[in-house]
């Protein structure tokens, strides 16, 4: 046995100090506040655990996990409909392949920087570990803004983006998927270009359409999974979503299928949002209204304010929906969309459960309010893992060259969300009995990756 793995700690052995660790991280990664925020939350949970299990410290696992295996930056040049040359930045952060090929989405949004992809890739390490499937972690994308672009422009951009990305990905190397601004249309263009360049039909992307290797339930998986996770947390307290008012943000892929599963389970969703504001439908969003939203957002690519005109609901411009009372809350748009003041208001108005469909939507101060108020709080890396989990099952189906039925995949999704809940619970209990799922998810996600890294030796 390596001397590094021997327990217990030797007398006088140094422990890992949280403040020193964070100071060092910030010094080495300046100007990356979202990355710092994501690491801070994990380090806070994991450092006490590392100090109880010195092999993780001796192997410098946390110090290594925060450093991506590889960061790829490139130029994407394409021509718009007026033949004008456009230049965008392309990114792929290959974070960790300790437990499987790099795996994670692509985000196309004008606000992104390397910081964005490092925070998302880092979160993905722990999320993918929790899914129980063999997937490492990566994240990428571009500052390209699909909003207001024609289909032809989106196609030319995707082809140019893939022309560079192709050399870095592969079904056993790195398997990208969708995220903000990357849905079925973009994945199709990206996949088509990959196939053209390589002359290979492989499972190199997930979230594909059903005609060319996609999995049933992948489109629904993130939203459905976030609601299943909420239901698991509630079940633990003898409660359920049935009859509860639910506040949802966003109106994209995750928000749409969150609303759909809330409806299946008898809850009452009353809000949706986009970057222009939110709608409040006090009568509740029904399946019929939701189908209209899917067409609005996925086909006509319109604004959520149109819902208010169509169904006589309220539209509140420039605001997030956190002023609306709801026992269950599903932040499903973007990072840091819910702050301390919002959290206080939600708790005051009777919120008992938060399940994060988005990645890091609650600020650290908001998370603190939820935890201090003993709200059931499912952090994104656990609550929204259903999406990447079904991506993992899409990879499996592609390798086997067959397709599972809807029922089969949805049953597996439910089982995976229950298993994620159970893994988190194992490490979540505080002295007063409260289940702190932030701590639970971070420690449970860490262990599998860390043990694999130790097994490989120092590299």
Closest approach of ligand 2IT to the CB of residue 435, in Å? 23
By a kind-dependent CB cut-off of 5 to 8 A, residue 103 interacts, out of ligand NDP, ligand 2IT, none, with ligand 2IT
Instruction: Exactly one of 103, 118, 139, 268 is catalytic; name it.
Output: 139
**Binding test (CB under 6 A) with ligand 2IT, winner from 57, 92, 103, 268:** 103
Residue nearest to ligand NDP (CB): 252
**Binding test (CB under 6 A) with ligand 2IT, winner from 45, 188, 215, 391:** 391
Closest approach of ligand 2IT to the CB of residue 191, in Å? 14
Q: Site residues for ligand NDP, window 93-132 (CB under 6 A)?
A: 111
Give the phi and the psi of residue 342 in degrees, each rounded to 5. -60, -45
Closest approach of ligand 2IT to the CB of residue 117, in Å? 11
Which lies closer to ligand NDP via its Cβ, residue 167 or residue 406? 406
Cα separation, 212 vs 191, whole angstroms: 9
Torsion from C-alpha of 54, 59, 65, 67, nearest 10 degrees: 130
Cα separation, 138 vs 118, whole angstroms: 9
**Binding test (CB under 6 A) with ligand NDP, winner from 143, 232, 274, 394:** 274
By a kind-dependent CB cut-off of 5 to 8 A, residue 206 interacts, out of ligand NDP, ligand 2IT, none, with ligand 2IT
Q: Is 388 in the site for ligand 2IT (CB under 6 A)?
A: yes
Phi/psi zone of residue 224: left (φ > 0), alpha (ψ -120 to 50 degrees), beta? Answer: alpha
Binding piece for ligand 2IT, criterion CB under 6 A, among 103-111, 155-163, 226-234, 318-326? 103-111
* The three-state (H, E, C) secondary structure of the chain, written as one string: CCHHHCCCCCCCCCCCCHHHHHHHHHHHCCCCHHHHHHHHHHHHHHHHHHHHCHHHHHCCHHHHHCCCCEEEEEEEEEECCCCCEEEEEEEEEEEECCCCCEEEEEEECCCCCHHHHHHHHHHHHHHHHHCCCCCCEEEEEECCCCCCCCHHHHHHHHHHHHHHHHHHCECCCEEEECECCECHHHHHHHHHHHHHHHCCCCCCCCCCCHHHCCCCCHHHHHHHHHHHHHHHHHHCCCCCCCCCEEEECCCCHHHHHHHHHHHHCCCEECEEEECCEEEECCCCCCHHHHHHHHHHHHHCCCCCHHHHHHHCCEEEECCCHHHCCCCEEECCCCCCCECHHHHHHHHHCCCCEEECCCCCCECHHHHHHHHHCCCEEECHHHHCHHHHHHHHHHHHHHHHCCCCCHHHHHHHHHHHHHHHHHHHHHCCECCCCCECHHHHHHHHHHHHHHHHHHHHCCC
Q: Is 387 in the site for ligand NDP (CB under 6 A)?
A: yes
Binding piece for ligand NDP, criterion CB under 6 A, among 10-18, 155-163, 351-359, 432-440? 351-359
Q: Is 254 in the site for ligand NDP (CB under 6 A)?
A: yes
By a kind-dependent CB cut-off of 5 to 8 A, residue 29 interacts, out of ligand NDP, ligand 2IT, none, with none
Closest approach of ligand 2IT to the CB of residue 85, in Å? 30
**Binding test (CB under 6 A) with ligand 2IT, winner from 34, 179, 186, 274:** 179
Binding piece for ligand NDP, criterion CB under 6 A, among 37-45, 163-171, 175-183, 368-376? 175-183
**Binding test (CB under 6 A) with ligand NDP, winner from 124, 142, 188, 334:** 334
Contact 322/346 with Cβ under 8 angstroms? yes
* String of contacts with ligand 2IT for each residue 148-177, x by CB under 6 A: -----------------------------x
Q: Site residues for ligand 2IT, window 333-372 (CB under 6 A)?
A: 359
Q: Is 251 in the site for ligand NDP (CB under 6 A)?
A: yes
Which lies closer to ligand 2IT via its Cβ, residue 103 or residue 421? 103
Q: Is 142 in the site for ligand NDP (CB under 6 A)?
A: no
Q: Is 409 in the site for ligand 2IT (CB under 6 A)?
A: no
Residue 127 is among the residues annotated as catalytic for this protein: no
Q: Which residues bind ligand 2IT (CB under 6 A)?
A: 103-105, 127, 177, 179, 206, 359, 387-388, 391
Chain residues binding ligand NDP by CB under 6 A are 111, 178-181, 183, 222, 250-255, 274-276, 332-334, 357-359, 384, 387
- Residues labelled as active-site residues: 139
């Amino acid at each position: 046995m390596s001397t590094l793995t021997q327990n217990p700690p030797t007398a006088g052995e140094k422990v890992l100090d949280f403040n020193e660790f964070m100071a060092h991280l910030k010094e080495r990664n300046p100007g990356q506040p979202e990355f710092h925020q994501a690491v801070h939350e994990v380090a806070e949970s994991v450092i006490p655990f590392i100090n109880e299990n010195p092999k993780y410290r001796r192997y410098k696992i946390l110090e290594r996990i925060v450093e991506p295996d590889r960061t790829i930056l490139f130029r994407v040049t394409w021509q718009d409909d007026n033949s004008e040359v456009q230049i965008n930045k392309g990114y792929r952060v290959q974070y960790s392949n300790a437990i499987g090929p790099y795996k994670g989405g692509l985000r196309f949004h004008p606000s992104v920087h390397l910081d964005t992809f490092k925070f998302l890739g880092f979160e993905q390490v722990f999320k993918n570990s929790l899914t129980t499937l063999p997937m490492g972690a990566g994240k990428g994308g571009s500052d390209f803004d699909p909003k207001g672009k024609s289909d032809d422009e989106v196609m030319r951009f995707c082809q140019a983006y893939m022309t560079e990305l192709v050399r870095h990905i592969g079904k056993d190397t790195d398997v990208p998927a969708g995220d903000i601004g990357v849905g079925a249309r973009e994945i199709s263009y990206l996949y088509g270009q990959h196939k053209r360049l390589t002359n290979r039909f492989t499972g190199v992307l997930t979230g594909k359409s059903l005609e060319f290797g996609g999995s049933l339930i992948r489109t629904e998986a993130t939203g459905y999974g976030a609601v299943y996770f909420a239901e698991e947390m509630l079940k633990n307290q003898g409660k359920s979503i049935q009859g509860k008012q639910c506040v949802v943000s966003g109106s994209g892929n995750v928000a749409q299928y969150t609303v759909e599963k809330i409806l299946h389970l008898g809850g009452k969703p009353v809000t949706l949002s986009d970057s222009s504001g939110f709608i409040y439908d006090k009568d509740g969003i029904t399946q019929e209204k939701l189908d209209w939203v899917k067409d609005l957002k996925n086909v006509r690519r319109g604004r959520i304010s149109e819902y208010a005109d169509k169904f006589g609901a309220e539209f509140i411009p420039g605001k997030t929906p956190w002023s609306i009372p709801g026992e269950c809350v599903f932040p499903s748009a973007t990072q840091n969309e819910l702050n301390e003041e919002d959290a206080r208001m939600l708790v005051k108005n009777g919120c008992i459960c938060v399940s994060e469909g988005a990645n890091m939507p609650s600020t650290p101060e908001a998370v603190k309010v939820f935890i201090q108020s003993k709200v059931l709080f499912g952090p994104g890396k656990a609550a929204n893992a259903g999406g990447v989990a079904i991506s993992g099952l899409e990879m499996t189906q592609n390798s086997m060259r067959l397709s599972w039925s809807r029922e089969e995949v949805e049953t597996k999704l439910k089982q995976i969300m229950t298993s994620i809940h159970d893994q988190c619970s194992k490490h979540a209990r505080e002295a007063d009995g409260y289940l702190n799922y932030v701590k639970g998810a971070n420690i449970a996600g860490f262990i599998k990756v860390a043990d694999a890294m130790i097994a490989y030796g120092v590299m």
